[in-house]
Structures are given as C-alpha cells and as structure tokens.
Amino acid sequence: MKLQFIGTASAKTSLKRFHSSVLLKDKDQSILIDTGEAVTKALLSQYIYFNSIDSIIITHLHADHYSGLPALITQMHLDNRTEVLNIYADITLIENLQDFLYNSYIFLKRLSFQINFIATEVNVEFSVSENVKVVSINNSHLKKYSDFDVKKRLSFTSSSLLLNFGNNRIHYSGDIGGFSDLQLMDKFNPTLLIAETAHITFSEIKQLLPLPFPHKIILTHYSDEDIPELKKSILSLPDEFEDKILLAEDGLTLNFQV
C-alpha cells in the first residue's frame, strides 16, 4: 500500500505546491482524500490518471479541500470513464455535494459513468476497499463559524479520518480546530498521525511527544512562509525524536506493509 501526498499547501495558494490532498493506493484500488481547488492539475503533475481513482473521501466543504470536485468529475467524463466512482462524505454533507455538482451543470444521468454517493456516520466504520476500512469523527474545525449560518443549512461537519489497513492505523486530521483534535483517534492507538499544520503551532504538536512506538507524525497543510520555521523546529528536536516528526512535500510517497 502506498500513501502519496498530492498536495501539502495550506488554504493559501502557492505556485510551488498544491492544496492538501492524499492518495491511498494498493494494487487495485486508489482512494483520494479531498479534492481542493486545482486538484486536477495536482494529479496531472504527479502523472496520476484521473480514472485510476476509484473512490474519493471529502473531509469538509472548504474550498481548499473540495472545490476541485466538479473539475475532477468533468475530467473523468472527458476521459470516457466507465467505472463507477464512489464518493464518501459525512451524511450531513452529501446533499451539499450533490447540489455543488448540479449547480456546476454536472448532471449525473449525462455522465459516462455512475457516481455512488456514500453517506458515512460518525464512529461507524466503513469499507472503502477490500483492504481499507475507515472511521470518521467530527473535529472542531468549523465550529467557530456557526453564528454566521443565517440560512441555517450548514452542518459544520469537518471529519478527521482513521485509515485502517493491515496493521496500520493512520489518523488523517484533515483540518482541525485545536490541540484536542489531534487526539481524536487515540482510542484506536494510531501508528501514524498526518497532522495539518495551518491551525496549530509546532509547539502544540510537540506536546504529543514522546509517541508510543512506532507512531510518527507527518506535517502537512502548511503555507510556504511557514517552511523555514517548521524545518528549523524539526531540526531542533532532541535526538530521540528527530525521526518522529517529518514535513511532507508534494509527491512524498510512503510505503506500507499490508
């Protein structure tokens, strides 16, 4: 199984890196997590064929995490896709996603392929492929906006994911609201934490150390101007922690035993 970072940038658009998105891939299944703006270019830049993606999981409805979805589906159609595409999201997000496609003039009946929208529920494990099981838990990322929803139609759902395959349990934080969200999956004893770094400081992340073996942390979703400070902070870690925290870059690929 391979985990490939498609984009590691924060919400700030970068000319060097794409918005955050990762691809989990084994020999016959590819699962893309999040589809931010320009995800089609991000995939092309890493030579990933649009129609090799079997499933998409959307963590939340911020532009840097989902606004590339209509463009990606359009590309799949233009490439004459015939395989079914599965789109997973929390049950409270499905209707908004469907409206987003409809409002982009993407009519499901007109597509060359079928889309299955699969509604997930908090704390209820779902299978994305034969090998990959996922649990989603709501984090506090969007809670601060709740007073602004004058139309009363948003759920403020932002999902953190536990990706479970073989002996690997990866906590993918998506976007978070604060430190306690980094511990959302602790009950599952994660072996790897992929932590966004846009809404939390390195000093807070460092409080997670020491980590139980073989737990590691990979930092992603950071802006270009944060790179020097993040690199310096990682280098200044005590020797025993130096390989515990890594900074992801677009294209970074990790291999896992299943």
**Which residues of the shown chain bind Zn ion in the complex (CB under 5 A)?**
62, 175
Kindly state the tokens that stand for 215: 């737990």
By beta-carbon proximity to Zn ion, the closer residue of 22 and 76 is 22
Query: Which H or E run contains 56?
Result: strand 55-57
CB of 60 to Zn ion, least distance (A): 6
For residue 207, give the nearest of 235, 232, 237, 173 by alpha carbon.
237
Give CA–CA dist 57/71, Å, rounded.
16
| Cβ at position 189, least distance to Zn ion in Å | 26
Looking only at Cα atoms, what is the longest distance across the chain? 57
CB 29 within 8 A of CB 56: no
Give me the least distance between CB of 111 and Zn ion, in Å please: 28
User: CA distances (Å), 41 to each of 75, 85, 103, 178, 225, in order?
Assistant: 11, 19, 22, 31, 22
**Cβ 90 to Zn ion shortest distance, Å:** 14
Tokens read off for 53 = 């993606």
- In single-letter form, the type of residue at position 229 comes to E
8 Å CB contact between 147 and 117:
no
Q: How far is the CB of 17 from Zn ion (least distance, A)?
A: 16
DSSP 8-state code for residue 213: T
Query: At 217, is the secondary structure helix, strand, or coil?
Result: strand
Q: Which is nearer to Zn ion, 8 or 129 (CB)?
A: 8
Beta carbon nearer to Zn ion, 26 or 204: 204
Task: Considering the complex, state which of residue 75 and residue 140 has its C-beta at the smaller distance from Zn ion.
Answer: 140
* Closest CB to Zn ion among residues 168, 197: 197
Q: Report whether the peptide linkage leading into residue 214 is cis, meaning its omega lies within 30 degrees of zero.
A: yes
* Residue 67 C-beta: closest distance to Zn ion, Å: 11
First to last CA, the chain: 7
Pairing of strands 133-138, 126-127: antiparallel
Given the complex with Zn ion, which of 175 and 250 has the nearer CB atom? 175
Looking at beta carbons only, is 62 or 206 nearer to Zn ion? 62
Distance in Å, CB of 220 to Zn ion, minimum = 13
